[in-house]
Structure 1
Amino acid sequence: TICAKEMAAMKKTEEYRFLKEADSIALQQALRHLDTAFQNFFKQPKTGFPRFKSKKRNKNSYSTVCINGNITLSNGYLRLPKIGQIRLKQHRIIPEGYRLKSVTVSQTPSGKYYASILFEYEDQVQERKLQKFLGLDFSMHELYRDSNGKEPAYPGYYRNAEKKLAREQRKLSKMQKGSNNRNKQRLKVAKLHE
C-alpha cells in the first residue's frame, strides 16, 4: 500500500509539473472555448457537438489574454508568457492608442506558425466628401467590368495550382498510412493548399 500511495503522489506531482509548464491564462482560455462550444451546441443544436483534437485535423492553436502587460510587442519581437520572446514578421504598423487584448498562436498543417493579435481602440470616424465614383458589374469572362470599361486580366494561377494540387493528392492517396514518405507528401499537399 505504501508503494501505491507513493506512486499516486508521484503521478500527481508529474501532472502539476505539466500544468506549471503551460500558461495559466491559456488553460483558462481553453476552458472558456470549451464552454462556448457546449453553450452553442445546447442553444442551437444545428451547430453540432463540439469537435475535439484529432490526428486527422492537425490544426494546433492556443490563446492567451494580456493581463498586467504579460504580452508585449516591440522591435520585431513578441513576448508571450512562459515562452519568452519570439521573433516575428509584422505585417502592419500598430498606431498609437491601440491596446493589446489577446494573442492566438496557431500552427498550420504545413508546420508554419502564425500569431493573430487582437487590439482595442476608440474609433472616431471622420466624414469625407466623395469625389470619384466607380461602378462594378459582374462579367462572365472576367471577374468584373468597371464603369470606365476596364476588365482585369487574370493570369490563371489558381487553375494551374488546382491541377498541381490534384496530382499531389493522387500521390498522397496511394501511400501507406503512417509512413515517412506519406508524411512528407502530406506536408507538400498542405503547402499547396496554403
Structure 2
Amino acid sequence: MPLQQALRHLQVAFTNFWAKRAKYPTFKSKKRSRRSAEYTTSAFRYRDGRLTLAKMTEPLDIVWSRPLPESASPSTVTVSQDSAGRWFVSLLCLSTGEKITNPKHERRDRAALARAQRNLARKEKGSANGPRHG
C-alpha cells in the first residue's frame, strides 16, 4: 500500500505541474529526506487503541503522546523514521468537532503570548515602534 500511495502522490504532483500550480516534481534526496510510509484506511486496522499495519500479525507496541478521543477514526497512518533512528506514527483522523489539546502546546502558546505582551508593554505609545491602533 505505501508504494501505491507514493504513486498517487506522484500523480497529484504531475497534475499540479501540468495545471501550472506547481513546479516540475523532483526526486527526494536519500541524504536529506525522512524515511516514511503512508497507509490508507484499507492497509491498517485500529481497534481498542491498538494499531495493526498491513502484513503484520501483531499490533504495534506504541507509546502514545496523547489518547485519541473515543469517536476518532483514523483515515491515514504515516510511519516515519528520523535521523536518530526513532520511529514515529502519525494518525490523520476525521474531525468530530471536539478539540484535541496537547498540554505541552498549551504551555508553549501561553509563554509566547506572555512574551509578546511584555514586548508590547515596553513600547512607548505614539512612537514609530509603539502599539498601533488599526
Alignment match, 1:184: none
Alignment match, 2:73: 99
Q: How does 1:31-180 map to 2 (within 5 A)?
A: 31-44=7-20, 47-67=22-42, 70-74=44-48, 77-84=50-57, 85-123=59-97, 143-145=115-117
**Shift of residue 33 of structure 1?**
0.7
TM-score (normalised: structure 1) = 0.46
Give the Cα–Cα distance (whole angstroms) in 1 for the partners of residues 44 and 81 of structure 2: 22
Aligned partner letter, 1:105? V
Query: Is the CA contact 2:2–2:37 (under 8 Å) kept in the aligned structure 1?
Result: yes
Name the structure, 1 or 2, with higher relative contact order (CA <8 Å, separation 6+). 2
Give the Cα–Cα distance (whole angstroms) in 1 for the partners of residues 95 and 30 of structure 2: 39
**Shift of residue 78 of structure 1?**
2.3
Aligned partner letter, 2:89? A
The percent of aligned pairs where both chains have the same amino acid is 32
Alpha-carbon RMSD across the aligned residues, in angstroms, is 3.2
In structure 2, the CA distance between the partners of 1:40 and 1:87, relative to structure 1 (3 Å rule), is same
Query: Is the CA contact 1:97–1:121 (under 8 Å) kept in the aligned structure 2?
Result: no
In structure 2, the CA distance between the partners of 1:70 and 1:56, relative to structure 1 (3 Å rule), is closer
* SS in structure 2 at match of 1:41: helix
After superposition, the C-alpha distances for 1:107-136 in whole angstroms (9 at most, x for unaligned) are: 1122211111011143279xxxxxxxxxxx
* Residue correspondences, number: 107
Give 1 or 2 for the bigger CA radius of gyration: 1
In structure 2, the CA distance between the partners of 1:49 and 1:109, relative to structure 1 (3 Å rule), is farther
In structure 2, runs of 5+ residues without a counterpart are: 100-111, 122-134
Query: Is the CA contact 2:44–2:51 (under 8 Å) kept in the aligned structure 1?
Result: no
Query: Is the CA contact 1:98–1:119 (under 8 Å) kept in the aligned structure 2?
Result: yes
TM-score (normalised: structure 2) = 0.63
In structure 1, runs of 5+ residues without a counterpart are: 1-24, 126-137, 150-194
**Shift of residue 73 of structure 1?**
4.9
Give the Cα–Cα distance (whole angstroms) in 2 for the partners of residues 102 and 40 of structure 1: 22
After superposition, the C-alpha distances for 1:126-160 in whole angstroms (9 at most, x for unaligned) are: xxxxxxxxxxxx9xxx94126xx6xxxxxxxxxxx
